[in-house]
Amino acid sequence: MNNEFEKEVQSKRNDFNDAIVGVGVSFGFFSLIFIIGVVIEFASRM
């Protein structure tokens, strides 16, 4: 089998590490949005 894309690989990094970083960044972003919402709701009840 002759795959031309396997001959000239642009990045030899492990995709698992990039996936973990992506999940972590997404989780952090949505957690931040949730925390801001909770703080605003708590402040509006006072």
pLDDT on residue 41: 97
Distance of CA 41 to the CA centre of its chain: 26
Q: What does the pLDDT look like over 1-46, one tens digit per residue?
A: 677 777 777 777 788 999 999 999 999 999 999 999 999 999 999 8
pLDDT on residue 1: 63
- DSSP symbols for 16-27: HHHHHHHHHHHH
- Where helices occur in 1-46 by DSSP H, the ranges are 15-45
What is the pTM (predicted TM-score) of this model? Answer: 0.66
How is the chain split into domains, by residue range? Answer: 19-46
